């Protein structure tokens, strides 16, 4: 899946000469914590609620509301915005965007095509992708967590067991255990919310089924 398929396209933006007071009002109005700053369609920065708080007069001073608003109306987005912005492109994969967001400790990435701002991909967008891929929004469904051997054909065997029970696989995620390359932690979501019988059948077939979390000592 690619960023261009999941990014937010209808963006609220400001220009460099937008007053900080207007920026604050836009952030509050749209219930967001950051705005792209553009020049035409070109991205020139990001202004966040944190940027404003770091540069605005402290609430502890003796300024009146009128005086504070006057100061904020004279401060411009370009005066406090973050100019070094991490970006991605519509053709980047969702995994690449997620890794960049995690590595750079940001909440979103502007999406650019050349110099043009075309969208925004956020942590919320990425969570929605995760929910879609995990099949969480499919109902009814239930999950089974397994520890499989890394031998070829193990996942196919699990699929056959589920199929023989008349169930459908909603989603399946499998990876190599970072501590044991011979083990594949595997999460299967199936088309029933009653997984007791499936757990029993898998257990009888010799598979390790994990259906509850146990704290390590």
% the chain with pLDDT above 90: 70
Q: What does the domain layout of the chain look like in residue ranges? A: 3-129, 135-210
Average pLDDT, integer, range 100-127? 95
CA distance 48 to 45: 10
pLDDT in tens, 48-74: 998 888 876 655 455 556 666 667 777
Q: What is the mean pLDDT of residues 133-144?
A: 82
Tell me if the domain spanning 135-210 has CATH number 3.40.605.10: no
Helix (H) or strand (E) holding 189: strand 183-190
Homologous superfamily of domain range 3-129: CBS-domain (3.10.580.10)
Band (120; pLDDT cuts 50, 70, 90): very high
Six token digits for residue 3: 């960023």
Q: What CA–CA distance (Å, rounded) separates 11 from 44?
A: 15
Please say whether the beta carbons of 57 and 34 come within 8 A. Answer: no
| CA atoms of 174 and 196, how far apart (whole Å) | 21
For the stretch 171-206, pLDDT in tens is 999 999 888 989 999 999 999 989 999 999 999 999
Residues 6+ apart with CB under 8 A from 139: 193
SS3 166: coil
DSSP code of residue 191: S
pLDDT at 134: 84
Chain centroid, CA 56 distance in Å: 30
Q: Average the pLDDT over 115-131 and give the result.
A: 93
Note the pTM of the prediction, 2 decimals.
0.79
Whole-number Å distance between alpha carbons of 111 and 121:
7
Mean pLDDT of the chain: 89
């Amino acid at each position: 899946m690619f960023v261009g398929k999941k990014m937010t396209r209808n963006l609220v933006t400001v220009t460099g000469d937008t007053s900080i007071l207007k920026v604050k009002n836009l952030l509050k109005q749209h219930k967001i914590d950051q705005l792209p700053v553009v020049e035409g369609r070109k991205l020139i920065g990001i202004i966040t609620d944190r940027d404003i708080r770091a540069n605005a007069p402290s609430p502890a001073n003796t300024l009146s509301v009128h005086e504070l608003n006057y100061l904020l109306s004279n401060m411009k987005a370009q005066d406090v915005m973050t100019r070094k912005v991490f970006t991605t492109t519509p053709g980047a994969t969702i995994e690449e965007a997620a890794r960049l967001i995690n590595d750079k400790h940001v909440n979103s990435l502007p999406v650019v095509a050349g110099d043009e701002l075309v969208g925004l991909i956020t942590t919320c967008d990425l969570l929605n992708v995760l929910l879609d891929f995990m099949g969480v929004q499919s109902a009814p469904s239930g999950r089974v967590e397994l520890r499989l051997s890394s031998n070829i054909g193990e996942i196919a065997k699990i699929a056959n067991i589920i199929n023989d029970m008349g169930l459908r696989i909603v989603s399946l995620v499998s990876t190599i255990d970072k501590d044991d390359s011979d083990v594949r932690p595997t999460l299967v979501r199936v088309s029933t919310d009653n997984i007791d019988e499936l757990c029993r059948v898998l257990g009888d077939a010799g598979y390790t089924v994990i259906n509850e979390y146990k704290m390590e000592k």
